[in-house]
Amino acid sequence: MGDDEQQYQPLLLGLESHSRIPDLSSVAVEEFLEQRPVACRWWPRLVCWESRLLWLLSGASIIVSIFNYMLSFVTLMFTGHLGALELAGASIASVGIQGLAYGIMLGMASAVQTVCGQAYGAKQYSAMGIICQRALILHLGAAFLLTFLYWFSGPILIGMGQSKSIAEQGQVFARGLIPQIYAFALSCPMQRFLQAQNIVNPLAFMSAAVFILHVVLTWVAVYVLNYGLLGAALTLSLSWWLLAIVNGLYILFSPSCKETWTGFSSKAFKGIWPYFKLTVSSAVMLCLEIWYSQGLVLISGLLTNPTVSLDSISICMNYLNWDMQFMLGLSAAASVRVSNELGAGHPRVAKFSVFVVSGTSILISIVFSAIVLIFKVGLSKLFTTDSEVIEAVSELTPLLAISVFLNGIQPILSGVAIGSGWQGVVAYVNLTTYYIIGLPIGCVLGFKTSLGVAGIWWGMIIGVLLQTLTLIILTARTNWHNEVAKAADRLKASANEENSNLIISA
């Protein structure tokens, strides 16, 4: 590399010494990656640099994602020991009602991740707090509308074809979760606001502490006070409110947020319509992903022997969702890394980050798939002692292992899409691959063949596989310099309306 090595000697010395890798900057790495070709001997050190940044973000993000999910996971474990009917009712409400609300809230919050992440990378800190406030306003409005869905969940579940007994139990559980909707509305945007500025360790501590408290409170409500299904749901709502409160207190009083949170302002109401359009596309994109697997669980309730079908697929789906939370942690880190680098004007580093996080997640998914196959019987016994359900779960575990492997790619690419602001395009991809192709195939295999629940799951796998392949092609063909220009245009619109009358081009 001759002259290039002399020009970039400080960077090369840093790459030569592993101990100095943390001292490298995105600016220096971007300049280095501009040199064509980059010698092979530098790639391992560059991967170490990116992996360090990735795990600093994703380690805590994974903890946050897993512990947030484990709140519902533990609640379902307790309700499973109340009886098979209670588990079926709680599962159908958790999937069909709670999952719907969480998908909407999480999807809407991804707009915070996109805009705040790019603003933070471009050092436009003043707009971030206004963006978060604007998101809170829209989330609370959505929570109010969703309240009616929760309250009338019984008739809705019956209308979907669920049995009356399961729908009644689902309604009891869903009504106990009404306070949780408003906790979602506050917590989801605040968590994305903090993650966008790389504040993840405090979030991890908060989530872990609330989870430990939740386990104790749920045990007391279900086993000591005998409050049953309603007690379990109300306890889950209480735990989410505790999480929202501690997230809010951190934002209000932590010195880490003094530049990005400057207090409540009426400016959040200005320019809310353009931001709403980005929020809607974000919500549609993520909701179509989340509802796909949940819709298949609902469909399984229409099979013969719906209690066993629901219990078995719900148990497997809970483990798939647990794996998904791990990958969503990586996805959140990928989104932050990509949005920060695009905002900072570093297209090559953004592209490099995508490669590193994708390779990391695939390796992890291989390990998780092996664990599922090895411990397939033990996994079901955590939820139930019913031998028929345990056998049904064991038969589904090979399909679960395939889905776990696919989860090593799909959520990461979705995170890249969020960081880049592609939500609108990916929404169309999800609609086509999941609902026009995957869902009909699952219904045909589940109801017109002897496969039953396994046929429904095969439909899900086909849809996810097609969506993943499409996202791979989309990412591979991306012009990252154009993405930097788009991010700059979005942030320029924000800067031109410094009073936070933000205009966002979706």
Q: Please tell me the total count of domains within the chain.
A: 2
pLDDT tens readout for residues 384-427: 667 777 777 777 788 888 888 887 777 777 777 766 666 677 77
Question: 250 and 323: one domain?
Answer: no
Is 452 inside any structural domain?
yes
Among 109, 472, 490, 165, smallest CA distance to 287 is for 109
Query: How many other C-beta atoms can be found within 10 angstroms of the C-beta atom of residue 3?
Result: 7
Residue 504 clears pLDDT 60, i.e. is over it = no
Neighbours of 451 (CB within 10 A): 16
Q: Where are the alpha helices (DSSP H) in 177-305?
A: 178-196, 201-219, 228-253, 272-300
| One domain for residues 408 and 459 | yes
Query: What CA dihedral angle connects 191, 196, 201 and 202, to 10 degrees?
Result: -40
304 and 435 share one domain: yes
> Helix or strand or coil: residue 271?
coil
Asked if residue 162 and residue 220 are part of one domain, the reply reads yes
Say if residue 23's pLDDT is above 80: no
Flag whether pLDDT at 15 surpasses 60. Answer: no
Q: Does some domain include residue 70?
A: yes
Residue 215 confidence (pLDDT): 92
> Is 469 inside a domain boundary?
yes
Residue 292 has pLDDT above 60, yes or no: yes
pLDDT at 21 over 90: no
Best mean pLDDT range from 96-110, 166-180, 304-318, 421-435: 166-180
131 and 104: one domain? yes
Highest mean pLDDT among 82-96, 132-146, 286-300, 416-430: 132-146
Q: Are residues 373 and 259 in the same domain?
A: no
Domain boundary among 215, 240, 270: 270
pTM above 0.85, yes or no: no
Q: Are residues 136 and 241 in the same domain?
A: yes
By the 10 Å C-beta count (0-12 exposed, 13-18 middle, 19+ buried), 35 is classed as middle
Greatest mean pLDDT among 188-192, 334-338, 476-480? 188-192
371: in domain: yes
> Which DSSP symbol is given to 266?
G
Higher pLDDT, 104 or 382: 104
At which of 270, 301, 334 does a domain end? 270
Write the DSSP symbol of residue 41: G
Give the pLDDT confidence of 106-118 residue by residue, as tens digits: 778 877 877 787 7
- Please confirm whether the linkage preceding 440 is cis (ω < 30° from 0): no
Domain that holds residue 236: 63-270
Tell me the per-residue pLDDT of 59-117, one tens digit each, with 9 for 90 and over: 787 888 888 888 887 888 788 777 777 777 787 787 777 777 777 887 788 778 777 87
Q: Is residue 442 located within the same domain as residue 340?
A: yes
Percent residues over pLDDT 70 in the chain: 81
**Domain end: 270, 299, 327, which one?**
270
Counting Cα atoms < 13 Å in the Cβ hemisphere of 178 gives 14
Neighbouring residues of 329: CB distance < 8 A, sequence distance ≥ 6 = 58, 59, 61, 62, 63, 64, 65, 66
